[in-house]
Chain A
C-alpha cells in the first residue's frame, strides 16, 4: 500500500470511482478504524458493522460533494466514524445483541500470496527483535500482550515503571517499522496480511 497524499486529486479519483484509489482508501482507513474501535467495542462483528457503515456514509458524502477540504479527508473519516459509533451505542442500549455476541475470529478481507510472504517476513523480523531482547523484557511483553495481565501489576512485578514499557514498545516498533513500511509499499492496496484480524 503506497503512501498517497490526501489531496484534491485523490478525492476526485475517489468520487469518480477509481478502483485503485478506492482500494487504497478502504485498506488505509480500515486499519485505523479497527484500531480505533477495538478499545470501544468488544465484538468483532460490531467493529465490522461500524467500519462498513462509516465507509458507506463517507462515500455518500463524497458523491454528494460534501468533502470541501480534501486535505482533511482523514479527519472527515474519523468524524464520520465517531458519529456511526455514537449511533451504534444508542442502538446497543436498546438492543444489546451486538455487544453480547461471543468473541469470534473473522477472516481477513483478502489474502494474497505476496501478503502471506510479507506476513512471514514480518513474523520472522518480530521473532528476531524478540530474540534480541533480554529475557526479562520478553517476559514483560508476554505478560502484557499475550497474557493480558493488568499492566500496573506486571510493571510492579518486574520492578519497572510504565514509561519503561512505553520505551520498550517504542524501540521494538522502531526496529520493526522499516520492514513494515517496505512490505506495505510492496503489497497491493486491497491485500491484507494473512491471519486474524
Chain B
C-alpha cells in the first residue's frame, strides 16, 4: 500500500476503528512503519481517541452545563410580563392614567361643555360663486362652516367633501336633513390641529331618492392662519 492509497482509503481511521481486513491491515502497517506522515496521523488519532475517553467520562461541568443550556429561542410576547420590566411600566401607566383621569379629561370635559367662540363662514349651496370665502384662525384653532342647503330642490339628502389645499380629499360625510327644516343651515366643524393655511374646497352633492349623486355646489374657502 502506498501513501496515496492509504489516504484514499482513510486507512488511518479504519485502522484505529479496527475496520481493516487482516491482509489490508498488514499492508497498511508495513506502509505505516515507513511513512512518517501516516505514522503522525495514526499517533495523533490514537491520542485523540485515548484522551477523549477521559474527557467523555467526565461529568459535565456546571459552567459547561450552563453554557450548553439552550437559550430561549427568542423572547416572546410574554417576556414583557417579566417583573423587572412589567412593574415600572405598570407604575408609569398608572401615573399616566391618573393624570388623564384627574387632570386632562376633566379639563377637556369642561372645555367641551363650555360655550366656544370661534371663526366661521357661511356657505350657500344654492349660490354658485367663484370668489373664495376667507376665514381667519389662529394656529391650532378650528373653524366652522355653516352650510345653507337650498329649500325643496328635490334631493333626498346631501353629502359634502372637503379638499385640502393640495386638492386631496380630507373628509367626506353625509349632511342629514331628516330632523331639520329644509332651509336650515348645517354646521361642519373643521378641527384646527395641524391645519395648513391655503384654499380648501367644499363640494356639496345632492343625492336623489334613487341614490344618484349630483354635485350642486363647489366653494373655495381660503384659510388664513394668524401667528
Contacts and interface: CB of A to CB of B under 8 A. Distances in A.
Contacts of B17: 144, 151, 162, 165-166, 169
B210 interface: no
Contact of B56 (A29, A74, A146, A184): A146
Nearest to A3: B36
Contacts of A5: 36
Contacts of A77: 33
Contact of A180 (B10, B29, B43, B57): B43
B47 A35 contact: no
Contact of B44 (A74, A123, A177): A177
A123 B49 contact: no
Q: Interface size for chain A: under 10, 10 to 19, 20 to 34, or 35 or more residues?
A: 35 or more
Interface string B14-43: 101111000001100110111110011111
Given A130-B55, A131-B64, A142-B56, 12 more contacts: A31-B43, A82-B26, A122-B51, A123-B55, A126-B48, A126-B52, A127-B55, A146-B52, A146-B53, A172-B52, A173-B13, A184-B40
Contacts of B19: 162, 166
B47 A180 contact: yes
A51 to B, nearest CB: 13
A28 to B, nearest CB: 8
Given A75-B33, A130-B52, A162-B19, A169 B47 contact: no
Q: Interface size for chain B: under 10, 10 to 19, 20 to 34, or 35 or more residues?
A: 35 or more
Contacts of B12: 170, 173
23 contacts: A3-B36, A32-B32, A32-B33, A32-B43, A35-B43, A35-B46, A74-B33, A74-B34, A78-B29, A78-B30, A78-B32, A79-B30, A122-B51, A142-B56, A146-B56, A167-B13, A169-B17, A172-B45, A173-B13, A180-B43, A181-B44, A193-B47, A196-B50
